Amino acid sequence: MIKVVVLCFFVFILYSLGSAGYYMMKDPSGSRRMLKALTMRIGASILLFMFLMFSYWMGWIQPDGAL
């Protein structure tokens, strides 16, 4: 279950980063779409790391990766 959550987070992070790259190619510098996508990217990454730390603290995951 935790693996699925981590995977969903990671796919979303890749999507945000990819869309930021796409907006960087397509939009002029005045557009904020790239920055908004990058903000989503960093926000999701911080949430994922907090989720991992919480799971470790709760004992749902082990240091060696056992689930």
- Residue 1 carries which DSSP code? -
Regarding 38 and contact with another protein (CB under 8 A), the answer is yes
Q: Which helix (H) or strand (E) holds 32?
A: none
Minimum CB distance to another protein, residue 51 (Å)? 11
Regarding 54 and contact with another protein (CB under 8 A), the answer is no
Q: Are 55 and 2 in contact (CB under 8 A)?
A: yes
Regarding 45 and contact with another protein (CB under 8 A), the answer is yes
Return the CA Rg of the chain: 15
Binding string, residues 8-37; x marks residues near another protein by CB under 8 A: --x--xx--x--xx--xx--xxx-x-xx--
